[in-house]
């Protein structure tokens, strides 16, 4: 029996304060079937990482 490891959707945390750029990045990530979250500044990004650690795949 072959056991396959679960396939995880790639995730990105995008730090961007310009809504127009954030929207374009979201469209690109969606087209690549990636999950994503946004933060408008470094403080918010750190809070998101602390609350939901990012998997590195290693």
Specify the range with the lowest mean pLDDT, choosing from 3-7, 10-14, 37-41, 45-49: 3-7
Closest CA to 10 of 26, 33, 27: 33
Q: What is the pLDDT averaged over residues 5-30?
A: 89
Instruction: Report the share of the chain in percent with pLDDT over 70.
Output: 78
Mean pLDDT of 17-33: 95
- pTM beyond 0.85, yes or no: no
> CA-CA distance, 57 to 45, in Å (whole number)?
20
Q: Where do the domains of the chain lie?
A: 11-51
Mean pLDDT for the stretch of residues 46-56: 78
């Amino acid at each position: 029996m072959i056991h396959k490891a679960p396939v995880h959707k790639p995730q990105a945390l995008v730090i961007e304060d310009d809504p127009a750029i954030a929207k374009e990045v979201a469209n690109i990530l969606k087209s690549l079937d990636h999950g994503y979250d946004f933060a408008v500044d470094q403080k918010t990004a750190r809070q998101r990482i602390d609350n939901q650690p990012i998997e590195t795949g290693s």
